[in-house]
């Protein structure tokens, strides 16, 4: 998948790889939820794209996901966490 195909979705900044690493050297993925309605389909496409960028070696270490729900409603945070749990094996997140 190329960035140009999903550029409008990426510009919404639904999620990002900060470049930081956790204690296991896994990459950190941040999902900053906001007051605006977050489309789960767009978030899923964004995650698929962002998690396809790192090398296989980095992917093998897994990812740490930070869901920042301070500016969002609890039901949105809960939905995102459940989506991540369902897709844990395809995303290799912890």
SS3 call for 27: strand
Task: Give the Cα separation of 29 and 59 in Å (integer).
Answer: 12
**65 - beta bridge partners?**
29
Instruction: Express each pLDDT in 9-64 by its tens digit.
Output: 999 999 999 999 999 999 999 999 987 777 899 999 999 999 999 999 998 998 99
Question: In this structure, how many other beta carbons lie within 10 angstroms of the beta carbon of residue 26?
Answer: 21
pTM of the model: 0.84
* Residue 94 scores a pLDDT above 70: no
If you count DSSP H runs as helices and E runs as strands, how many of each does the chain have, helices first? Answer: 5, 3
């Amino acid at each position: 998948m190329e960035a140009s195909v999903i550029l409008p979705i990426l510009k919404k900044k639904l999620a990002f790889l900060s470049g930081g690493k956790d204690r296991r050297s896994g990459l950190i993925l941040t999902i900053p939820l906001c007051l605006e309605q977050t489309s789960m389909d767009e978030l899923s496409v964004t995650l698929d794209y962002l998690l396809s960028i790192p090398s296989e070696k980095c992917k093998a270490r897994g990812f740490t996901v930070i869901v920042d729900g301070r500016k969002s409603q609890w039901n949105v945070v809960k939905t995102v966490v459940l989506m991540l749990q369902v897709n844990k094996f395809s995303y290799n997140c912890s």
